[in-house]
Structure 1
Amino acid sequence: MLRKSLFILLAALLAAIPLTAQGGWIKNYGDADYQFGELVEETSDGGYFVMGNTISEQTKTDIWLLKTDENGDTLWTKTYGGPLEEYGFSGQITSDGGFIIAGFTESFGAGKYDAWLLKIDPDGDTAWTRTYGDTGYDVASSVHQTTDDGYIITGHRDGKFSQVTNYVIPGDIWLIKTQADGTLMWEKTYGIPDQDYEEGLCVRQTSDGGYIVGCNGLEEPATMSAARLMKTDAAGDSVWVYRTSDDRWFNCVRQTSDGSYMIAGSIDTDLGIARFSETGTLMWEKTYGKSSPAYDWATWIEPTPDGNYIVTGIYGAILLGSNPRDADVWLLKVDENGDTLWTRLFGDNPEFDAGCCVKPASDGGYIITGYSGTYSNGEYDICLIKTDSLGYVGVAEPVTHPSNWQISSSIGQQITLRYADHPQGFHAQVFDASGRKVDEIHAGGTSGTIVWGDEQSPGVYFIRVDENKTPRTERVILVR
């Protein structure tokens, strides 16, 4: 009778395990040159729009839009640009099923660079384009469709080209409001007098009809980044500004259901997440990542249907001149307090791999885009990573070190783990089937045996160990 009861319980547990674990995949898109993914959106047919950029050896840069099916297979691609340099930083699916892209153009407009807004129809054909700016370097970094079907854009105005760095140094924070056809309604600039480096990085319309803008600038000494969070009213007039005085970036901002704001970016050399009240008061901030000299930062944060947040970015980057290396795509899920639910890494050293955008998928998993040297036909390719609800893909991920821990049996009333070659002792995290961290396992000594599960309820669990920075996770089932 006991055997029959265990069998029935086991069958029920297995039936409850999400089947999306087999639906993950990693795809790359590109040729022998450089391709960078900036944004991904799921389409109404279950496929994906991926917006990025392609750069040839002759430094000719074009915006690149790909449409894929639900498996990441390419249906069509389109490029947008002229004879010179164009680059897209931001975009989204619009209310009519098309796509809006914001970036800059060197080929068109009045100045060195002009902010460029492109409206694309569902088949990838250009509906219209608009340029904004004057004779200097003007760039759009982020665009968001507003409730009146127009667009709000942020970026920087009046930048300068540096002969030393060979990059454009931003000027003032710039906010642009347009009608649905891209016609300019108003524009505003914001900045500190005599300060050359300020830019808007992310903008969203807020529940009161105004706007929230994540910004970056420089403090003295001029090598230190200082983030800003700016709230405006519907006319673009500043309501409040939060300024930091240390090395931080606010790369992505989202308003929460209670009116507060979640921010993702970096704090010193670590990935940083912060929460601000509706009036701009810092509620909390947390850091995540590898110890210096490695750099970690977040590029995107998005609310999930279960009330938590999914974050992507870069883990463990070594930034040495023009040859950055050792970075992985980082996927984190955190709760509303910033506590980690789980993390995943994708990539392989010494390549440089970066996550630039993540969105919840309709099947409960996640879709990520960025760029990769690991998954590449050339220098860098656009990568598209589809995971299940716990961040796993259905393919073998690169592991650079052999495993040094084992589970004797993955099903039982207790789970026995054996480990060896752990000079700092054995450390693991345990998650339940929903991705919530429920326990930690710690044991001293280089090797040993651990029995786990006596204090846990029957069910499905995932035991994760970070082996030489590459996480490995095993699924186990406790029965009684």
Structure 2
Amino acid sequence: MCSKMFYLFLVFSLIGFRGFSQTLDIEWEKKTGKSGSDVFNCIIEDVNGGYTVVGSSPAVNRDDLDFCLVKFSAEGQIITEKIFGTESNDLSSGISQFVSGEYIAVGNSVLDAGKTHVFFLKADVDGNEVWQKSLNELENISVNDVFASDDGDFVTCGSVLVSEGFRKIWLAEFDNDGELLWEKTYGENVIEEVGSVKKLPDGGFAIAAQTAGEVAQESDLLVIRFNSEGNKIWEERYKMPKVNVRPECICCSPDNNFIVAGWYGTCMNDINSDNPIFDYDLFLTKISPEGELIWSKNIDSEGSEGGNTIAVRPDGKIVVAGKKETSFLGRVGTWLVLADSEGSILSEAVFPFNFGNDKVSEIISTSDGGLVLIGPGEMNLDLRNTDGWIKKIKAF
């Protein structure tokens, strides 16, 4: 493995709504909210038109959370809503679609004492259950996403607890019936937490992960590229001294490079203290197909903020979505940033929070040239006062 040290640089002050407010027109938006405990995690543009969202919602006649699958028309009308799950809290983390139009969704069943199992749901084109499985033999795995293949198999990725305090990257392929074909783990005896995985045009995968730094509370960015069989092509660790970095999304640009976004925490006191205080900013990093660092930007606004998801436009422009947690000017909420292909900020927009823990969980470019955003994302089991929401942005 080749190690590289770099410092994120080029600080921007993002004040105003320059240009972006003229193009960021909401076409429609919807909010669930009938239960007050709904979240939307992942979205795809459906092969049959419209959009399909997976999230979590209160179970019927039980005091736990189940998967929810919601199909929207292109105009934002709800076509169908389905609830699936076990008697544990089932938290969704990914959805993909087969060429047949069927769906595969993945997530985690959270058991007592914080243990997790992998949970799969396969649904037909109308969102009706084909089968569901809780893989009890695969303990303490937290899955992040899923990708369907043309032959009906699917690949999922996440992090597995291998011993107390240590996690490794986990990648596995399953057949059309949810039977394990192969699984592989990668990593050293440190904490390695998968932040995002992306399926590549050649059938392989790229993973952005957080890995432990040289001292406590410090973490570095780890990016690994695999082929379609899960064999590692290359692995690069990008050292970030005295920083806590959380990669949240990796995406491909039109020039075949990788864009990584996330949260970049600069320690404001002693990082080795019992209570280090971090000021978080958005970071953007561009990496070549061979793992070479092209550029990296630390985007510092007034307060703490970060990016959770990326949509790269056909012209190479980058849209990052996340949230502003604090702001000296009082502008907090779900956050959009538009950058050019070199990571220079063009403009931003902020939508007020709907409720506590609100954020953009995923953003996708749509076939009509617009965007779709969903939220609030990951469910806090101790905070059940949320509504799943979706916003469609007009073409620009």
Match of 1:171 in 2: 116
Instruction: Provide the C-alpha distance between the structure 1 equivalents of 2:314 and 2:237, rounded to a whole number of angstroms.
Output: 29
Letter in 2 for 1:198: I
1:242 and 2:187 correspond? no
Match of 1:181 in 2: 126
C-alpha contact (below 8 Å) 2:17/2:347 kept by paired residues: no
**1:207-222 map, 5 Å:** 207-221=150-164
Cα shift readout 1:7-65 (whole Å, capped 9, x = no counterpart): xxxxxxxxxxxxxxxxx99869xxxxxxxxxxxxxxxxxxxxxxxxxxxxxxxxxxxxx
Match of 1:306 in 2: 255
Instruction: Provide the C-alpha distance between the structure 1 equivalents of 2:154 and 2:226, rounded to a whole number of angstroms.
Output: 15
Q: Look up the SS of the partner of 1:202 in the other structure.
A: strand
Letter in 2 for 1:204: F
Instruction: Provide the C-alpha distance between the structure 1 equivalents of 2:325 and 2:244, rounded to a whole number of angstroms.
Output: 17
1:263 corresponds, among 194, 207, 222, to 207
Unpaired runs of at least 5, structure 1: 1-23, 29-67, 163-168, 397-480
- Structure 1 runs (4+) deviating above 4 angstroms are 24-28, 107-111, 317-324, 374-380
1:344 corresponds, among 285, 297, 306, to 297
Match of 1:275 in 2: 225
Cα shift readout 1:434-466 (whole Å, capped 9, x = no counterpart): xxxxxxxxxxxxxxxxxxxxxxxxxxxxxxxxx
Match of 1:287 in 2: 237
Match of 2:282 in 1: 329
Instruction: Provide the C-alpha distance between the structure 1 equivalents of 2:62 and 2:156, rounded to a whole number of angstroms.
Output: 26
Match of 1:113 in 2: 65
**1:33-48 map, 5 Å:** none
Letter in 2 for 1:201: N
Query: Cα distance 1:323–1:72, how it changes in 2: closer, same or farther (>3 A)?
Result: farther
C-alpha contact (below 8 Å) 2:195/2:246 kept by paired residues: no
2:94 corresponds, among 117, 136, 142, to 142
Instruction: Provide the C-alpha distance between the structure 2 equivalents of 1:248 and 1:216, rounded to a whole number of angstroms.
Output: 7
Unpaired runs of at least 5, structure 2: 1-13, 213-218, 349-396
Q: CA deviation at 1:170?
A: 5.0
C-alpha contact (below 8 Å) 1:156/1:170 kept by paired residues: no
Match of 1:386 in 2: 338
Identity %: 21
Letter in 2 for 1:200: V
Query: Cα distance 1:118–1:286, how it changes in 2: closer, same or farther (>3 A)?
Result: same
Q: CA deviation at 1:257?
A: 3.2
1:369 and 2:321 correspond? yes
Instruction: Provide the C-alpha distance between the structure 2 equivalents of 1:284 and 1:249, rounded to a whole number of angstroms.
Output: 18
Cα shift readout 1:410-449 (whole Å, capped 9, x = no counterpart): xxxxxxxxxxxxxxxxxxxxxxxxxxxxxxxxxxxxxxxx
Match of 1:201 in 2: 144
Q: Relative CO higher for 1 or 2, CA cutoff 8 Å, sep ≥ 6?
A: 2
Root mean square deviation, CA, Å = 3.2
Residue range with higher mean Cα deviation, 149-158 or 241-250: 241-250
* Structure with max Cα Rg: 1
1:154 and 2:106 correspond? yes
Letter in 1 for 2:261: T
TM-score using structure 1 length: 0.60
Query: Cα distance 1:354–1:159, how it changes in 2: closer, same or farther (>3 A)?
Result: farther
Letter in 2 for 1:216: S
Aligned pairs, number:
323
Query: Cα distance 1:89–1:323, how it changes in 2: closer, same or farther (>3 A)?
Result: farther
Instruction: Provide the C-alpha distance between the structure 1 equivalents of 2:253 and 2:328, rounded to a whole number of angstroms.
Output: 29
Q: CA deviation at 1:352?
A: 2.6
C-alpha contact (below 8 Å) 2:254/2:315 kept by paired residues: no
